Amino acid sequence: MGPAVSDQRPHLESFLMRESLLDRAVERSTETPVFRMLPDSYVIKVGGRSIFDRGREVVFPVVAELSAALDDGRKLILGTGGGARTRHVFSIGIDLGLPTGVLAQLAAADALGTAHMLGTLLAPKGVVAIPPEIFGHLLPLFLHAVPGVIYNGLPPYSIWEHPPRVGRIPPHRTDAGCFLLAECFGSKELILLKDVNGLYDDDPRQNPDAVFIPEIGVAELRRRKLRSLPFDPVILDLLEHARLLKQFRIVNALQPGNLRAAFAGEKVGTIVHAD
Amino acid sequence: MSEALLTDLGARLVTGSLSDEELLADTGTSRPVQILPDANVVKIGGQSLIDRGRAAVFPVIEELVANLPDHKLIIGCGAGTRARHAYSIGLDLGLPTGVLSVLGTFVSSQNARMIHYLVARHGIPFIEPAQFAQLPLYLEERRGVVFFGMPPYTFWQRNPETGMGRIPPHRTDTGVYLIAEVFSSRSMIFIKDERGLYTADPKKDRSATFIPEITVSELKALDLQDVVVERAVLDLMETAEHGRRIQVINGLEPGTITKALNGEQVGTVITSD
């Protein structure tokens, strides 16, 4: 392929040469089917505040269930949250007036700390925390060599994090990072391990009549305008525009057997699906 | 527990939900600090300038260097025709948007290295994302740095909206703009090969008319088929805390960069509402 000149600019021959990549018609023409890199993998987000911050009593049974899944031959990509430490560093950073990008950069350290805690407990399985700098590029290699890997669930947005619509909290946190990773690598499923059963039509702690929602679509969930969600709200945007990952599941890790049931395809937790 | 924390907001952040809009709103009330308020962020276009080689690049470099005594410059670089080539092949192979983002990063990194060698004799370094902590020192000591424009999202790059193709939506315009936003820089100047924003691509449509000044909402209302900066930049400008003004100028026209750095209204100025 040689250079082609027609608008006083030299181009390398390709179907995008000479085109503005911002032209909507050009953009639409690039909607090709997507190759799945790791179709047998599961991405599992292990909550920071919801699981790890509760200590041994909650963490050990979760580790036992993860170990059992690894023994069953499931390939697990485990992302971790930063929990209370991230909330704390956000509060100090906000008080100091630091911007969203800096808060995002700071949060990476807390989630990485949790990743190393989980990596210590799963070390007997050969499952350890991978440094974020090499994690993405080497992920397929690792998963081929060991039953699972752990990383800090954060996307590497750091100081390039987007300023949010409201306030200063980074919108792409560890749930979002796990979603984006599962979407890019074409994982089989994304499971968010939390301390709630899933979604209810009202806060079950305040309203005993709150009704559990086993499955819901993005549009319907947006329409209900729930006051709070047990996951990063931005993943609804990501799900809307996903090409491979058409749903994710919230599972209560405080109830033993839930994770095993989820792997077995049983109805457990709440499934949020694309419309 | 709460009395051990610095602020009431801190206590609410530790116990509350980060999807609670009231709590989120309160996280934006403290007075922001400006990290590098006297630095300017400029972006040298890839396809628009660097791909044209010496004839376009040397005068731009010369003008940027001439401005160093008066202006600190954080210089980001675009990708261009090799990224289009890699995207074309990658799309045909069905590679995910995150992988295309990695490929785009390589190309903008090549361009940044070339620009870096041209300014190296002025002691200006090239920095990778991991080296941004040294940026303030370099700016103070040498008054300039060069970096690659792609944001380091790699495999975590978001998809474009469904139906709008699969090219990474956050490319070098966005990555450079977000540096201006996070450091609350004095200016964000995109150096390209057109006078600024037009109602259509002036390279293809002779009837396109020039727009010297416009707000983000006005620009979005025009619903143009083609725009001069990545649409993601316009979206981010709506929520940005600092980066509320960008300028798009023609680097092929001598003197324009200097005028823009001096705050003159050249090219197109786009402001947040």
- SS3 per-residue string spanning A32-86: CCCCCCCCCEEEEEECCCCCHHHCHHHHHHHHHHHHHHHHCCCEEEEEECCHHHH
Of B7, B95, B155, the CB nearest to A181: B155
A54 part of a folded domain: yes
Q: For tokens 């750095």, name the residue.
A: B261
A-B contacts at Cβ under 8 angstroms: 248
A2 burial type by CB count under 10 A (0-12 exposed, 13-18 middle, 19+ buried): exposed
> Are A99 and B27 inside 8 Å of each other by CB?
no
> Domains of chain B (ranges plus CATH)?
32-271 (3.40.1160.10)
> Are B13 and A11 inside 8 Å of each other by CB?
no
pLDDT of residue B3: 57
pLDDT of residue A203: 79
CA B21 to chain centre: 29
B164–chain A Cβ distance below 8 A for any pair: yes
Tell me the residue length of chain B: 273
pLDDT of residue B203: 87
Q: Residue A240 has which token pair?
A: 């809307």
- φ, ψ at A41 (rounded to 5°): -90, 155
ipTM above 0.95, yes or no: no
* Gap between the Cα atoms of A265 and A75, Å rounded: 16
Helix (H, G, I), strand (E, B) or coil at A217: strand
The β-bridge partners of A3 are A12
Question: How many domains does chain A contain in total?
Answer: 1
Q: What is the CATH number of the domain that holds A79?
A: 3.40.1160.10
Q: Give the DSSP letter string of B85-142.
A: HHHHHHHHHT--HHHHHHHHHHHHHHHHHHHHHHHGGGTPPEE-GGGGGGHHHHHHHH
A203 part of a folded domain: yes
A174 part of a folded domain: yes
Tens-place pLDDT, residues A201-256:
987 878 889 899 999 999 999 999 988 899 999 999 999 999 999 999 999 999 99
Residues of A with CB below 8 A from B252's CB?
none
Distance to chain A for B231, nearest Cα, Å: 8
> Are A32 and B166 inside 8 Å of each other by CB?
yes
A19 part of a folded domain: no
**A54: confidence class by pLDDT, cuts 50, 70, 90:** very high
A88–chain B Cβ distance below 8 A for any pair: yes
A250 part of a folded domain: yes
Q: For tokens 């948007």, name the residue.
A: B97
B69–chain A Cβ distance below 8 A for any pair: no
A262 part of a folded domain: yes
Domain carrying residue A154: 44-273
A33 part of a folded domain: no
A71 part of a folded domain: yes
pLDDT of residue A10: 79
Residues of A with CB below 8 A from B94's CB?
32-35
**B22: confidence class by pLDDT, cuts 50, 70, 90:** very high
Using a cut of 0.90, tell me whether the model's pTM lies above it.
yes
pLDDT reading at A272 higher than 50? yes
Q: Are A50 and A194 in contact (CB under 8 A)?
A: yes
B113–chain A Cβ distance below 8 A for any pair: no
Number of Cβ within 10 Å of residue B76's Cβ equals 28
* Gap between the Cα atoms of A84 and A156, Å rounded: 20
> Are A243 and B96 inside 8 Å of each other by CB?
yes
> Are B151 and A157 inside 8 Å of each other by CB?
yes
